[in-house]
Each structure stands twice: as C-alpha cells, then as structure tokens.
Amino acid sequence: MRQGEIDAVRSYAQGLGRTNRKSGHDRTIGYRYSYLSPSPRGHRWQWFWGSCFHAVVMAHVEPEQAAAELKTLVAGQDANGFIGHMTFWGARPWGLHMLDHLQSKPGERPRHTALIAPPVLAQAVERVAEIVGDPAFAPQFTDALDRYHEWLAENRAPDGDGLLVIVSPYESGMTRSPTYDAPLGVTGTPGWLRLGVRARSVDLRNWLNSHGTVRMLRTARFYVKDVLVNALYAESLETMARLHRAQMDAAGAETYAQRARLVTASLVDKLLDRSYGAFFSLLGKEEARSVPLTVAGLMPLVIEGLPQDVAAELVERHLHNRSQFWTSAPVPSVAASEPSFDPRGASLSWRGPTWVSTSWLLWRGLRRHGFDDLAAQLAARTVTMVAKAGLREFYHPLNGAGMGASSYGASALALDMAGG
C-alpha cells in the first residue's frame, strides 16, 4: 500500500470528529455522552458494534474520543449487564421511529433497544488499550464487561452448547443477509420492502412478548444460532480471559477460557459443514443448516482456539478463492459463486457488497492464524479501496466503488489495517 493512500484514510478518520460526533447531556440517564454516529445522515443513535469499531479508529487519531466512545456505550448499560444494540442518547419518545419503539421493551421510556448486537466490546477495549499503550485503560471496563458477558450467558445461551441465540435479524449486524430468508419466510429473490416488513413482524412479535427472554425464546419464530455472532462471542470470551489474566485474576481468566472452549467446540461440532469446509448458521430449534455461503461462514477465523486445520481450509478453500471471496475489492458479504450474490445491492447491502468491518475482522483472524502475507494483501486492497472511494457504508466487491451512506465511520478501520 502507498503512503499517500494511508494518509488519505487517516485524513478521513480525522474528519469523523467533525461530521459524526454526537454529544450532550442525557437527562434520563444523567450522563454527558459523546459518540460517533455511523454516518451523519440516517444514523442518529449510538450503535453497539459500530461504536466499538469507532473506538478502534479514533484511538489512532483522537484517543480521548476513543475513551469517550466506550465509556458512553457502557454508561447506557442496565444494572443487570444488558447493553442494547442501539442507545437513544438525548432522545424524546416522540422523536423515535416506530421501529425503535418495537425494538424496545413496552411500558418503559425507551432508552435503548431490547436487542443484542454482535459482541465486540471486549475486543475493542483490548485493541484501544494496545493502540494507546495504556495498561490502565482496560481495567476500568472490567466490571461492565463481566456483567455484560454474564447477561449473555444467562439470557441468550439456553442450551448446553453455550451458543447464543438471536431473535431478530437486526441482532446479527447483517440484517438483510440471505441467511435469514428462510426464518423470515421469504423465498425467491426478495425486495427490500418484503424483507423489511418480515423483519418488522419479527420485532412486533418480540415486542408483544415484552422482549422477555424466557417467553420470547420459547415462542420465537426467528430463532437462529448465528455463525458471526457466536464466532465473535467465542473471541470475546477469549479476550476476557486475556484481560483477566493481565489483571492477575487466574480464576476469572480460566472461567472465560472454559466458556470460550465450549463455544468454539460447539461451533466446530454443530455449525461446520466438513464436506464444504465452511460454517453455516443453525435455523430454528430443529437446527436446520442455513444457506448460502456468506462472509459469516468464514468468521470463526477470528477465534484463537479454532483448530488450525479448520482455519487453513477456510482460508485456502474459500477466502483466498477468486470465484468466491477473493474479489478485486474483498471480502464480499456473499460468496460471488452463489446465485444470491448481488454486488450492487444498495438496498440489500449484505447480499454481495463488501464491508470494511467484516474485512477488518477477517484480517485479524488471518494474522492470528499465521496467514500474514494474505493479511497484508487484504489490508492493502482495503486501504486502496477506501482511499479512492472515501468512507462509504459498503463497496462494490468487483470494482471498489463506494455505495451507501457517506462518512461512514466503521470504514475507517482501514487505518488500523494499515498499521495506524
């Protein structure tokens, strides 16, 4: 990658503080918040995994904002440890969309949604601490992280396999992925309106069940053990083990390490299609295997404890395959060989376009499993793509053209891939 390209991405990242920052005093929670919205238009609230990505980006250019980003996120945490996938800082009830209300618990003044997000908070805390070189940074989040992981284990892992269950496509971060067509009852080639209506009907049902975990899981029509969510959960548990070990808490570290091993083993035993060499989500309580092959099917690569032979097959058979994921602007959200692959899917953005956030996650996985040369190639292609097209929400996987929202903060993760 060229230095000029890195400088361009750094300049884009520096501009996020001017274009995307939201700050003020929330009277309901009683907290002075500061966070970056995903983009200046159409994304007003603090999004859980987007905020984690923003913290990593800002650690390179504005460390104070990186800290504020994560502190704001955990300031919205409930006493029981839950953190919603969106937090409505400074909102008035009449200023929220109907969908925001449906995704929140009825009978309460909405402060956040009742939905989870892919668990990347511990990873963000660890990465920011590494970038700023401050050993005292991570310990200040330990209590919030412990309560958050306890909530997940107690409320969303109903079976002995330790795997989390999601009850809405919005919980995956990949809302319009073709993985969810079957649980949404959609066949053929769906349009954005039909998918949107079906997704909202899922949230309505969960709302009628008061987003109560036991009843909601028992009656859920959308019940998915998602590959991406559980791969990141296993990585998050591994991260928590490292954080506790660094704080000389051997017992706490071992507890998290055991949970990570259980989730990893369940992913390999239940979600890995060994004949195909990739992972697929499980749909419904009958645990039917999903289709098609998406970028989520490669995501267990982020897990340090993933067996090396499994990691190698993911990389050699799929990720580094030009007919599937190693396109000109990798990594597409659906394998290019799949009939549902739509590289121009502006309104169905997880059905083909490339997202920097998932490329960043896979880049971390490649480095973790010793594929350093391929990781460097992925970083170089991503930096070139972002430098040329700017911070866009997603990109055309065949030519790198920017699509979707502009000034999209998570795409500045290319700066982390460039080495800062």
Q: Predicted confidence band at 42 (pLDDT cuts at 50, 70, 90)?
A: confident
- Dist. CA 103–CA 42, nearest whole Å: 17
What is the structure's pLDDT at 81?
98
Residue 301 has pLDDT above 80, yes or no: yes
E strand residue ranges, 340-401: 392-395
For the chain, the distance separating the N- and C-terminal CA atoms, rounded to the nearest angstrom, is: 13
The mean per-residue pLDDT over the stretch 328-335 comes to 98
pLDDT of residue 165: 97
Find the radius of gyration of the CA atoms of the chain: 20
For residues 34-56, give the mean pLDDT: 95
What is the per-residue pLDDT across 196-210, written as a single tens digit (0 to 9) for each?
Answer: 999 999 999 999 999
Q: Is the pLDDT of residue 215 over 90?
A: no
pLDDT in tens, 372-387: 999 999 999 999 999 9
Q: How far apart are CA 377 and CA 382, in angstroms?
A: 9
- Rounded CA-CA distance 120/118 in Å is 6
| Residue 41 pLDDT greater than 90, yes or no | no
pLDDT of residue 290: 97
- Give the pLDDT confidence score for residue 420 in this predicted structure: 66
Q: What is the mean pLDDT of the chain?
A: 95
Percentage of the chain surpassing pLDDT 90? 87
> Using 50, 70 and 90 to split pLDDT, how confident is the model at 92?
confident
DSSP secondary-structure letter at 316? I
Number of neighbouring beta carbons within 10 Å of residue 38: 24
Per-residue pLDDT band for 113 (boundaries 50, 70, 90) equals very high
* C-beta neighbour count of 269 within 10 angstroms: 9
How do residues 228-267 score in pLDDT, each as one tens digit? 999 999 999 999 999 999 999 999 999 999 999 999 999 9
pLDDT in the model for residue 189: 84
How confident is the model over 385-404, as a mean pLDDT? 97
Residue-level pLDDT at 58: 98
Range list of β-strands (E), 3-155? 21-26, 31-36, 46-47, 86-87
Strand-pair category, 272-273 with 224-225? unpaired
- Tell me the C-alpha distance between 296 and 302, whole Å: 11
- pLDDT level of residue 91 (50, 70, 90 thresholds): confident
Q: How far apart are CA 46 and CA 49, in angstroms?
A: 9
* Per-domain boundaries in the chain: 156-304, 320-420
pLDDT of residue 29: 85
